[in-house]
Structure 1
Amino acid sequence: MKPQASTFPDDFDDPLITTEGDVGAHEDDLWFLPGPLEEEPDDLPPGPRAEPSDIAVIDDWAKAEAAQAARLAKVAGRLGALDDRLLRGPDGWRHRLALIEAADLSWLAGDRVSSDRLALWISMRLSGAQDDPNALARVGWAVRRLMGGPGPMVDLAAFLDRRDPENIEDATERLEERAGGWLEVMKSAVHLHPITRACMGFHLWSLAGLGQQGDQIEAAVTAARITASDGKGANFAPLAMGGAGGLRASGLPPERLARWLDGMETACLTAMRHLDYIETWSARTEAEMSSLSGKTPPALRAVLTEWPLLSAPMAEALTGTRSWTHNV
């Protein structure tokens, strides 16, 4: 009788070899293995995105400038007309426009300093009980910088009149470093039109770490000076006269530049209307004062041209006389 061959493998002691019938049961015993993967909804917030490079940022603004080329040329023409008129006019016009622009910028920052209160503060350091001295100081700084002096591209820290505190921590980035980074981007964008470059610099202000309380005023004044850097009559380009919609920070560079141009054109036209009014008033006042003798009438007229509001103490201080009320 021939023995029947076994159906089991000879190496049945090897645990790695199993028969087909054992596979399912064997896998069921592996309770420690993870179950099948199932797709779950991704409810986690997105992580921080990498900041675009300086070249990419400048390129975006260059594309925005190309898209707004016609409008940019029109607004540049408005600014050129204002510059020419201020070049031919008295110095008091520049001072008056600087007061109005600074007062309008204060409303943008929430300080809400009117031009008459600002005039009293700058001329005689007079303020009311309801006035915030810090707000007056910020707006007073804006008037001084809008009137002239070294521009922001020379020494931004000196232009801002800011310095790091003495007890600054070592890990904190210093103002000079932050200002230097912002200036580096601005100098790399020298091929852009000054209006476009100023708009870009305004919107990069906070991203560069230059923001603090009142930073909107600082950013706007800096942009206003950069825009008029090639001018001969205008020390700054008006941005807030007639409304500050152009300074609203939202949207992509094309949208921001379009709003900037709209706001700047409105501001330039508003400034021209102010000059029309004061020029007409000055001519009429000169004719009516022609019969008056002495130095006081023309001095008073010049002061009234320069300041939007004039009190008796201001007039005495600015004209250098105490008898002007009797002469007039």
Structure 2
Amino acid sequence: MDEDHDDLPLGPRAEPCETAVLDDWRKAEASNAARLARVAGRLGALDDRLWRGPDGWRHRLALIEAADLSWFAGERIGPDRLALWISLRLSGVQDDTGALARVGWAVRRLTAGPGAVVDLSAFLDRRDPDNMSNEAEPFADRASSWTGMMAQAADLHPITRACMGFHLWSLAGLGQHGDRMEAAVTAARIAACEGKGAVFAPLALGGTGGLRAGGPPADRLERWLVRMETAGLTAMRHLDDIEAWSAQVVTEMSALSGKTPAALRAVLTEWPFISAAMAEALTGASRAAIQRNLAWMEARGLIREVTGQGRFRMWRAATGS
């Protein structure tokens, strides 16, 4: 007669049913209600600030957020390299153009584009290949599983829903093609889905600890809210600095003639780092005019050269951040 053996390998673990998963996240939201309200208020303040501010602010924050998320995803693309890639499609010899393209996608989705929940395939720029094997699960099926769960969580606050969607990403079978970056960008858009000025909610500006997996939903949401609050404060301080810098530059450059000074100021507001070639392409001014104005601004401490080299120089606004 066969004997039972305690050391037999365990079979596959059953996934918790959708109702239980949603209930866990509802309980997590209830247990973090006070902090959630505070973070939602800070996000609302950022949304209003961006709604009243120039469009360049949104682009600037998106570039910085995408660069920070790239480190979380293991791509490690700095905002200077990212700026060169997006504006001029320039990359260094050692740069991974695939990684640059993925982070460039993040910038596009953090500034505009379709909503993630409306059409996830379009949002991610993902489609099934024509030669997909019969055994492979179509992306549309995996996407519908995730969007279905998100639809059932419509009663949750968008910030909670974003956190839940991020942590359910791999469980839904969406964990390919740089999924950590995609999941974070998708969550950032969902968290700010009710805003008018903020296209996304900053998640990485204060560090990426909130994106760490582990623990029950209540713990994950608490970490998410702590880091999101820090990221929101960091974003507001950054906008304070660039707004003060812009006002100073307007005053100091008022005596200069021509269109180049104002155009260059706008570019430095929109981009965290610029090169002369970038400024030339983005403003339409001549290289000589760009270099003359950059030299004038650097001499007066309005911008700082950050590369420390003679060629391929880059500058940033001389703000406090």
TM-score higher than 0.5: yes
Match of 2:290?
324
Question: What is the aligned counterpart of 2:190 among 222, 226, 229?
Answer: 226
For 1:315 and 1:172, the matched residues in 2 are separated by 47
The within-5 A match list for 1:34-113 is: 42-113=6-77
Look up the equivalent residue of 2:290 and give its one-letter code.
W
Look up the equivalent residue of 1:261 and give its one-letter code.
L
The within-5 A match list for 1:127-142 is: 127-142=91-106
For 1:324 and 1:248, the matched residues in 2 are separated by 43
For 2:241 and 2:94, the matched residues in 1 are separated by 31
For 1:50 and 1:210, the matched residues in 2 are separated by 19
Match of 1:19?
none
Q: Deviations over 1:152-203 (max 9, x none)?
A: 1111001000111121111211001100111011001000000000000000
**1:45: Cα distance to partner?**
3.6
The within-5 A match list for 1:10-21 is: none
Match of 2:240?
276
CA RMSD between the two structures? 1.4
Look up the equivalent residue of 1:243 and give its one-letter code.
G
| 1:151 is the counterpart of 2:118 | no
The alignment partner of 2:274 has SS state of coil
**1:41: Cα distance to partner?**
6.6
For 2:88 and 2:106, the matched residues in 1 are separated by 17
For 1:97 and 1:50, the matched residues in 2 are separated by 41
Question: What is the aligned counterpart of 1:297 among 261, 281, 290?
Answer: 261
Q: Deviations over 1:237-262 (max 9, x none)?
A: 00011210000011110110000001
| 1:114 is the counterpart of 2:78 | yes
Structure 1 unaligned residues grouped into runs of 5+: 1-33
| 1:265 is the counterpart of 2:229 | yes
Look up the equivalent residue of 2:291 and give its one-letter code.
T
Look up the equivalent residue of 1:325 and give its one-letter code.
Q
Larger radius of gyration between Structure 1 and Structure 2 = 1
Asked if structure 1 preserves the Cα contact closer than 8 Å seen for 2:70 and 2:181, the reply is: yes
The within-5 A match list for 1:233-244 is: 233-244=197-208
Q: Deviations over 1:289-318 (max 9, x none)?
A: 011111111111000000011100111110
**1:52: Cα distance to partner?**
1.2
Question: What is the aligned counterpart of 2:177 among 206, 209, 213?
Answer: 213
Q: Deviations over 1:104-151 (max 9, x none)?
A: 000001110000000000000000011101100000000000001211
For 1:296 and 1:249, the matched residues in 2 are separated by 48
**1:325: Cα distance to partner?**
2.9
Match of 1:126?
90
- Overall identity of the aligned pairs, in %: 72
Look up the equivalent residue of 2:292 and give its one-letter code.
H
TM-score after normalising by structure 1: 0.87
Match of 2:165?
201
For 2:14 and 2:277, the matched residues in 1 are separated by 58
